[in-house]
């Protein structure tokens, strides 16, 4: 009689390779998230307790170096009215132009004269101006 024990199948599962894979993925996402450079303009906005929203607006920003941006694209001051007009045409405003507005974001260090220049452009284009601020 040949009595040999049957080979038993083990039902164990090793999680070490799975945890290695998870840690590698975690490291990959951490490294790639720090490399992502958002396309944003660095502004320190003045603080305000009230907030106003414009339904149809063109975003204009002025940074600390007095560079003008329309929708995050740098524009010289001389071409600012044309860029605003072009952006108004791109968003295809319906109705009266006086219902649209310019959402103006300016760094704290920007002189008021620069803000007034943009406000004069808005007046010439028959647009309202909303000054953006940060929350208190």
The answer to whether the pTM exceeds 0.85 is: no
pLDDT tens figures, 77-134: 899 999 988 888 776 654 545 567 888 888 888 888 988 999 999 888 888 888 877 7
Task: Walk me through the domains of the chain, giving residue ranges and CATH numbers.
Answer: 47-135 (3.30.420.270)
| Strands lying side by side in the sheet with 73-75 | 73-75, 68-70, 57-62, 101-106, 128-131
């Amino acid at each position: 009689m040949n009595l040999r024990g049957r080979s038993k199948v083990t039902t164990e599962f090793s999680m070490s390779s799975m945890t290695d894979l998870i840690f590698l993925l975690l490291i990959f996402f951490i490294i790639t998230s720090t490399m992502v450079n958002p396309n944003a303009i660095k502004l320190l906005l003045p603080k305000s307790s009230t907030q106003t929203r414009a339904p149809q607006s063109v975003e204009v920003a002025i940074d600390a170096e007095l560079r003008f941006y329309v929708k995050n694209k740098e524009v010289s001051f001389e071409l600012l009215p044309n860029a605003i007009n072009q952006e108004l045409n791109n968003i295809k405003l319906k109705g009266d132009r006086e219902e649209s507005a310019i959402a103006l974001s300016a760094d704290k260090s920007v002189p008021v004269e620069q803000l007034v220049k943009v406000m004069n452009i808005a007046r010439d284009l028959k647009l309202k101006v909303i000054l953006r601020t940060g929350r208190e």
